[in-house]
């Protein structure tokens, strides 16, 4: 591997086609696509989507978390829904697919790293209740426990909730949420979510949580 390219790519976790093309051109390579395919075969590049790669340096081993990949694969986005509920320990079943919310169109990517899905969320709800988690390999954005729950309730297709009782059944039997964990959180976020979304589902979620935290 050209030393110039290695030094340049070591400075970033991800690299796009335009950057690769520029670096390879500067290093004297003429058949850019052939060189990129060669780098992929050698394991130097992992393709996440068309024109977007992880560079796997043979000299520096950096473990990039799936959460960081999710934030960078499609932006703006933050991790939410099922994966965030699992991450925060609100549901017991392990979730392999990294689920995120985005202001862009819903989309799914199948990659060698795993499955990454993105569901559209309105801009007015996007920044509410989003946390930044710091790790050794970088930072990533994820919904807080209650934001993830609100996102899940709000976005679940075909969900018909007409009472606190039905909401409780959905949380306990469908999602298998640990209800005791919900007692620790500030319900103001759910109230704000309802005021913005005007969703009846979120209203019943708020009323239920208000009842069990008294």
The position carrying tokens 């799936």 is 66
What's the pLDDT tens digit per position in 68-83?
999 999 999 999 999 9
pLDDT at 166: 97
- Indicate the domain borders of the chain: 3-55, 66-212
Residue 214 has pLDDT above 80, yes or no: no
What's the pLDDT tens digit per position in 20-42?
999 999 999 999 999 999 999 99
Residue 13 has pLDDT above 90, yes or no: no
Q: How confident is the model at residue 142 (pLDDT cuts 50, 70, 90)?
A: very high
- Across the range 191-203, mean pLDDT stands at 98
- Across the range 164-188, mean pLDDT stands at 94
Beta-bridged to residue 131, according to DSSP, are 142
Query: Strands of 45-49's sheet, edge to edge?
Result: 14-16, 52-55, 45-49
Residue 1 has pLDDT above 70, yes or no: no
Are 148 and 85 contacting, i.e. CB atoms less than 8 angstroms apart?
A: yes
Q: Give every CB contact of residue 91 below 8 A, 6+ residues apart in sequence.
A: 82, 85, 175, 176, 177, 178
C-beta atoms surrounding 183 within 10 Å: 10
**For residue 211, with 0-12 CB atoms within 10 Å meaning exposed, 13-18 middle and 19 or more buried, which class applies?**
exposed
């Amino acid at each position: 591997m050209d030393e110039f390219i290695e030094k340049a790519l070591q400075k970033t976790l991800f690299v796009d086609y335009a950057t690769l093309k520029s670096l390879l051109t500067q290093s004297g390579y003429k058949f850019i696509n052939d060189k990129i395919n060669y780098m992929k075969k050698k394991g130097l590049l992992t393709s996440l989507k068309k024109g977007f790669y992880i560079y796997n340096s043979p000299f520096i081993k950096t473990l990039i978390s799936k959460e960081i990949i999710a934030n960078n694969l499609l932006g703006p986005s933050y991790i939410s829904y099922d994966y965030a509920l699992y991450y925060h320990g609100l549901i017991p079943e392990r979730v392999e697919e990294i689920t995120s919310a985005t202001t862009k169109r819903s989309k799914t990517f199948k990659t060698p790293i795993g499955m990454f899905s993105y569901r559209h969320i309105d801009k007015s709800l996007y920044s509410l209740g989003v946390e930044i988690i710091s790790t050794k390999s970088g930072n990533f954005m994820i919904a807080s426990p209650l934001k993830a729950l609100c996102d899940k309730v709000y976005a679940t297709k075909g969900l018909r909730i007409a009472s606190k009782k039905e909401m409780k059944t959905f949380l306990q039997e469908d999602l298998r949420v640990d209800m005791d964990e919900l007692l620790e959180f500030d319900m103001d976020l759910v109230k704000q979510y309802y005021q913005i979304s005007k969703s009846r589902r979120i209203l019943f979620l708020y009323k239920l949580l208000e009842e069990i935290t008294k």
